[in-house]
Chains A and B, each alone.
Chain A
């Protein structure tokens, strides 16, 4: 056996590396090829979305958020919402009309479950083996929420109204098709017309059969990686069995009972991660007064007054590294990330929004003290 023939054998492992890398890198791209669907206008698509009616669905939702938020040491783990707003998460969701829902977040070797069958709601944390039971007030015969649409409800008219309303600020277009969770979907893209926001675009993937939104992607103005992506990785529109939504506290699990006062409207115990919209992020109000929204549309800025920003170690540390800015509004520190900017003034006001730092300062100048 000659030397060349021998060294040729090394082509086999090299080919193996190439095949593995190729399959790993290109496989998802091929699978995500855009499906062929008949054309549709944005208005028609929006009208269809309103008429979407499913009696139940179940599936796996994946979220990944990369807002570029600075991680505050020592604060992590305390706030579940902020934890869900960063990193990647997988959750199993199920829903059935009118009031059954279940969300279970699949953590590493643990699971957090929220489920409601309409009469009671449960929260279960497998790592602590603790369950919280929430007894919901009996539903009145008439739903509190105006669920029933007015008789002259016309989806087309509502869609047009909506489009007209957001037209000055946002460009809305059907930007193509894609496969989401194995289903053909239209992409509806919203692009802010202003350059004062950090949001580049918001894209919804809408199922072409049930007209249910399957995926939402928020792109920042700069960079190619989504700031937020939330969508189904698998979905079924069969109504899940009723047993899916019940919870029997297992032996050895500590159960805490809580009652919801009947006078107040029951807070929806299950908060699907869908709520993470382009405006889902708010400034963390730390014992401040009620937040005020300044500005409109994409340039909205949230102001909170009377925030105590000193005396908290990690926050102090974060602010010490922040850039100091001043203007007619006073003096303060500015924190910026890819998506969110925050301005903390020396007189205890906090401004935050999905806007550029300059917009934030302009808003601060106009803001009431």
Chain B
């Protein structure tokens, strides 16, 4: 009795260690790739480019929205950069990384080994998804940190003017910008789920990336067609812009929560589809 329980415990421990090791090696794989680092580098350059452009043009707040506030308060460089990266740069990065995740292994032939390995296919998929989620967070945090550094060097900083016309301290402003980065990284999870599923269908990473990006473009076009307003709330990117609700006083959570629910729904559907595909796949 005691022996079997010890054995059980030991097995669970090794399994746990296995899982941890799998996750760690997955993260190393994703962040060790040159294209990941290049992608993060491009994202880090976004605040720099915007900051320099605003500094050189010397405009002090003619532009509407967050961009117009950058010259007066460097903190808004973070928000403006995140907002401007959301429609294109961030989805592109997520598409590339998620398209690569399973198809890349398949094209190199390493997936075959991994599918036969004792780690288990479900756990492999979980490790891939966790690595993708970590990448989404890393991508938005790169912009946050880069925006913080560039904004504080190039522009004056101070109390933060919220959309509701009230002012909060710089510390709270930074916290709200951090929350925006987290919300945006969570907003990317639905797309990451689509990418993971598409990546499980093919052994050509480029095809997976193209298909995922195509799906993203189609969703974008559907969101822009007013006649489709009946299905708009169901579309992946319909509420992406709701992150700005964090800059109201008090923050308005309704739309953000709806957005995260939609992301969660997409993630569950496509993650389970990827799971069905991967676990029923023949090893060829």
Name A residues whose Cβ lies closer than 8 Å to a Cβ of B: 1, 6-7, 9-10, 12-13, 15-17, 20, 24, 60, 90, 92, 104, 106, 108-111, 113, 122, 124, 126-129, 131, 233, 247-248, 250-253
B279 interface contact, C-beta 8 A: yes
Which of B163, B166, B272, B280 has a CB less than 8 Å from the CB of A110?
Answer: B163
B273 at the interface (CB under 8 A from A): yes
Name the residue in B69, B73, B161, B276 with the highest tally of chain A Cβ atoms < 10 Å from its Cβ.
B276
Given A109-B66, A111-B163, A111-B164, check contact A16 B248 (CB 8 Å).
no
Residues of A close to B158: CB separation below 8 A: 251
User: Once the chains bind, are B265 and A12 in contact (CB under 8 Å)?
Assistant: no
In-complex Cβ contact of A131 among B165, B254, B269 (8 A): B165
User: Which of these, A7, A17, A109, A252, contacts B269 with CB under 8 Å?
Assistant: A17
CA distance A322 to B158 in the complex (A): 56
B155 at the A/B interface (Cβ < 8 Å)? Answer: no
Q: Is B275 an interface residue (CB 8 A)?
A: yes
Establish whether residues B280 and A10, one from each chain, have CB atoms under 8 Å apart when the complex forms: yes
Residue of A20, A104, A113, A127 near B65 (CB, 8 A) is A127
Contacts of A126 in B (CB 8 A): 163-165
Whether A12 touches B241, Cβ cut-off 8 Å, given contacts A127-B65, A128-B64, A250-B167, is no
Whole-angstrom CA separation of A110 from B245 in the bound complex: 9
CA distance A233 to B167 in the complex (A): 27
Known interface pairs A20-B265, A109-B241. Does A13 touch B164 (Cβ–Cβ under 8 Å)?
Answer: no
A-B CB proximity, top 8 nearest: A6-B280, A13-B273, A109-B244, A13-B272, A111-B163, A9-B276, A20-B265, A124-B165
Cβ of B72 within 8 Å of any chain A Cβ, yes or no, is: yes
In the bound complex, do residue B161 and residue A251 qualify as a contact, i.e. CB atoms below 8 Å apart? yes
In the complex, how many angstroms separate the beta carbon of B241 from the nearest chain A beta carbon? 6
- 10 A–B contacts, CB within 8 A, in A order: A6-B279, A6-B280, A13-B273, A109-B83, A113-B165, A122-B165, A127-B65, A247-B165, A251-B167, A252-B61
Contact partner of B165 (CB less than 8 A), chosen from A1, A106, A250, is A250
Q: How far is the CA of A13 from the CA of B125 in the complex (A)?
A: 15
Flag whether B268 is at the interface (Cβ < 8 A).
Answer: yes
Which residues of chain B (221-261) have a CB below 8 Å from chain A?
234, 241, 244-245, 248, 252, 254
Q: In the complex, which residue of chain A has the Cβ closest to the Cβ of B252?
A: A106
Q: Which residues of chain B have C-beta atoms less than 8 A from A20's C-beta?
A: 265, 268-269
Query: B280 contacts A9, CB within 8 Å?
Result: yes
- Asked whether, in the complex, the Cβ of B272 is within 8 Å of the Cβ of A12, the reply is yes
Is the Cβ of B69 less than 8 Å from the Cβ of A129? yes
Q: Besides the contacts A127-B65, A248-B167, what 11 more A-B pairs have beta carbons closer than 8 Å?
A: A9-B276, A12-B272, A16-B268, A24-B234, A60-B252, A109-B244, A113-B165, A124-B165, A129-B61, A248-B166, A251-B158
Contact B234 A13 (CB under 8 A): no
Least Cβ–Cβ distance between B52 and chain A, in angstroms = 22
* CB-CB nearest in chain A for B60: A252
Interface status of B68 (Cβ within 8 A of chain A):
yes
Bound-state CA distance A20–B261 (Å) is 10
Residue of B64, B72, B163, B166 with most partner-chain A CB within 10 A: B163
Which chain A residues border B159 with CB–CB below 8 Å?
251
Q: How far is the CB of A66 from chain B (nearest CB, A)?
A: 10
Closest partner residue, chain A, to B66 (CB atom): A109
Give Cα distance in the complex from A109 to B69, angstroms. 13
Q: Which of A90, A111, A124, A128 has the most CB of B within 10 A?
A: A111
Kindly report which residue of chain B lies nearest to residue A124, judged by CB atoms. Answer: B165
Closest A residue to B272 using CB positions:
A13
Knowing A7-B280, A9-B280, A109-B244, the reply to whether A60 touches B165 (Cβ < 8 A) is no
List, in ascending order, chain B residues with CB within 8 A of A248's CB: 166-167
Residues of A within 8 A of B163 (CB): 109-111, 126
Residue contact B64 to A127, C-beta cutoff 8 Å: yes
A106, B69: Cβ atoms closer than 8 Å: no
Given A13-B272, A17-B269, A109 and B65 touching (CB < 8 A)?
yes
A179–B159 Cα gap in the complex (Å)?
41
What distance in Å separates the Cβ of A4 from its nearest Cβ neighbour in chain B? 11
Distance in angstroms between the alpha carbons of A12 and B268 in the assembled complex:
10
Across-interface contacts of B83 in A (CB, < 8 A): 109
A248 to B159, CA, bound (A): 14
Mask: chain B, 157-179; 1 = CB below 8 Å from A; 0 = not: 01101011111000000000000
Most buried by A among B65, B164, B244: B164
Residues of chain A within 8 A (CB-CB) of B165 are 111, 113, 122, 124, 126, 131, 247, 250, 253
Residue of A with least CB distance to B247: A109
